[in-house]
Amino acid sequence: MLHRCGRRNDTRLVDQILADLKTPALRQSERVEAALGLTVEGLVQIITAMRHSVDQLQAEPGREFATHPLAPVLRSASGLGPVLAARVLAEVGDDPHRFTTANGLRAFAGTAPVTRASGRSHYVKARKVRNKRLGDACHWWAFAALTWSPGARAHYDRRRATGDHHNAALRNLANKLVARMWWCIANNQPWDEHAAWPMLNHDDEVAAA
């Protein structure tokens, strides 16, 4: 149960919770306890109904998204589930010529950094003017890709090794993912992990040699 709730599966924690639940506590009168029991039962029923509604809302966009011609292209990318892929498509649009270059889509998503230079001053910062909904979807796409894509994980680790903090490394990874997805949409081609991460393939060849 703890694992399903996203908590650590710690045997000691389980034992502590069970012990606390079985420890005698202060009591109320029988009528008060009965009333409180009905209140808790009603709250549990509300939570159950809300969970059922959330499940329906999550399933419906997936079914609708699956009918779109670009669905196979977006779903072929590691880390893009039906809901997240639908969010990306909704913000990017299904016109393959809307963005003439990958940099245009990167700027729209806010993953491309902004470079400021004046004299000897030179610094790079995150883009503020952007489509925040698309930027948020790309952030979670990059986060999910860490688990599902060895190339994405290797790229993220390289960025962390150079000194990037977590969010900066994720933003850089999202920038790579967005550029590759632009090519896939523009050419109506599925995602190719080998083409997306050529450096990883080169490292594997060097290791094999």
- Point out which residues pair with 123 in neighbouring strands: 116
pTM value is 0.71
Per-residue model confidence as pLDDT tens digits over 96-105: 889 999 999 9
Cα dihedral value 80, 83, 86, 91, nearest 10: -90
Average pLDDT over residues 139-149: 95
Contacts of 41 (CB under 8 A, 6+ apart): none
Does 35 score more than 60 pLDDT?
yes
Question: In which band, very low, low, confident or very high, does the pLDDT at 207 lie, cut at 50, 70 and 90?
Answer: very low
What confidence tens digit (pLDDT) does each residue in 166-196 have? 999 999 999 999 999 999 999 999 999 999 9
Structure tokens at 105: 């889509």
- Is the predicted pLDDT of residue 55 greater than 70, yes or no? yes
Q: Which of 6-15, 101-110, 111-120 has the highest mean pLDDT?
A: 101-110
First to last CA, the chain: 47
Residue 137 predicted with pLDDT over 80: yes
For the chain, the average pLDDT equals 87
Q: What is the DSSP letter of 7?
A: -
Domain ranges of the chain: 27-65, 71-208
Mean pLDDT confidence for 125-148? 90
